[in-house]
Amino acid sequence: MTKISDENAPVFPSDYAQRVIDHGKKQQRRHRNPSEPFLEERNPRKALDLAEKVVEKPEGIIRDRLLRLREYMPGQQELVYSFGEYLADHINPDIVPLGFVMAAHLALYDIQQGVDSRTNEKITGSLVGQLPLIYRLLEMEIPLIAKAIFPNDFADQAGEFVDAVNRQVDEHNAKVKAAAPPPVLPEDPLKLYTAARRIADIAIEVWGEAKAFLIDQRKEKVNPFYNQTANGLFIEQYYGIPGAIWTPWGKWDCWGSGSGTDELMEKFLSRIGKVEVAVPVRHTEMGTIGPIYAVLQVGDVVLPKPETRDPLSYIEYEEANRLWAEVETAYRAQAL
């Protein structure tokens, strides 16, 4: 396992400020002007003044940069800036690279739980209650935030710590996955595939009857990296139109972009047979997600109540594609 250590790591901002001050004193002894910049201040005299102020009162520098993250990282999603604002109040005034990485991960964990672990108080705001994918995306922003607000050598060390943590997590997950139970395949794969195919056909029929726009992608293969079910089927709605079907083999993007109305969506769902909302629609700063519908019946065919599969027990990519192709072939043979 990779050893993670902050031994001899620079402390921000005091080490950087002290370096500029020491250089200024050395220049003064030589009867020369200071020549070192500090942070974004390129004027050496002003840089020396800023460094002296930081040493006297360092607590505002990191907080100020996180609160002004829009200036340092323009063009990001609002949730990234909200995360910076939350982190600004949960980080030490002097910090080493590993300390920053750990503080950022702890803050992100607290946000996911909805409780501040330092005070045990409830956290409110747009950051709370997001889907796991959103938090994974925010986690990926941590080294980018470090690069935006810290000097290069500090940010580089922070990035190395993130990589080391990720390697350890990958190693841990590999061990857990190896010990996880194997994926349970559906008892009647042809029944489920036929139901999924019928759902895909119904959407194309309903949108065609209404002369509405919906791209037909029924020839697409399944994507085993996402949304495998333990059994049964889910329908994912996307901005008012059918988006994808979650199957035991993965996510089937059988429809592309399009346009629609609530009435069309209701007609589509009612024509399927029996569906119920599994996850209500969520309006996030990353976009509108869902609703996600559990399919209980297609026509006269009753389906098992669907459940999402634990990612640690996902069918491997190649195997899922092989099984999808196998059941697709069986479906086509049945239709002859």
Residue 161: Cβ within 10 Å count: 25
Q: Which whole-number Å values give the CA distances from 21 to 13, 171, 331, in the listed order? A: 12, 44, 76
Answer yes or no: is 323 within a domain: yes
Judge whether residue 1 has pLDDT over 50.
no
Are both 170 and 220 inside the same structural domain? no
Answer yes or no: is 14 within a domain: no
Q: Is the pTM of this model over 0.85?
A: no
Q: So what's the pLDDT on residue 253?
A: 95
Q: In the chain, count H helices and then E strands.
A: 11, 13
Span 63-68, mean pLDDT? Answer: 92
pLDDT in tens, 203-260: 999 999 999 999 999 999 999 988 999 989 999 998 889 999 999 999 999 999 899 8
Range of weakest confidence among 132-136, 228-232, 251-255, 298-302: 132-136
Are both 163 and 200 inside the same structural domain? no
User: Which structural domain, as residue segments, surrounds residue 232?
Assistant: 189-335
pLDDT in tens, 20-35: 999 989 988 998 999 9
Q: 230: buried, middle or exposed (CB in 10 Å: 19+, 13-18, 0-12)?
A: middle
- Please report where in the chains the tokens 């002097």 appear, as a residue: 94
Are both 134 and 175 inside the same structural domain? yes
Are both 195 and 327 inside the same structural domain? yes
Judge whether residue 285 has pLDDT over 70.
no
Query: Residue 5 — very low, low, confident or very high, per pLDDT cuts 50/70/90?
Result: low
Range of weakest confidence among 151-155, 206-210, 309-313: 309-313
Answer yes or no: is 295 within a domain: yes
Among 179, 209, 235, give the residue marking a domain's end. 179
Are both 172 and 285 inside the same structural domain? no
Are both 175 and 232 inside the same structural domain? no
Answer yes or no: is 11 within a domain: no
Residue 105: Cβ within 10 Å count: 14
Distance CA 193, CA 140 (A): 35
Which range among 61-65, 78-82, 178-182 has the greatest average pLDDT? 78-82
Distance CA 85, CA 64 (A): 9
Distance CA 209, CA 213 (A): 11
Q: So what's the pLDDT on residue 58?
A: 63
Average pLDDT, the chain: 89
Are both 211 and 291 inside the same structural domain? yes
Distance CA 40, CA 62 (A): 13
Are both 152 and 273 inside the same structural domain? no
Span 306-311, mean pLDDT? Answer: 91
Span 78-105, mean pLDDT? Answer: 92
The pair of three-digit structure tokens given for residue 90, joined into one six-digit string: 């949960």
Are both 128 and 238 inside the same structural domain? no
**What backbone phi and psi angles, to 5 degrees, belong to 233?**
-135, 145
The pair of three-digit structure tokens given for residue 193, joined into one six-digit string: 């595939």
Q: So what's the pLDDT on residue 4?
A: 60
Are both 198 and 173 inside the same structural domain? no
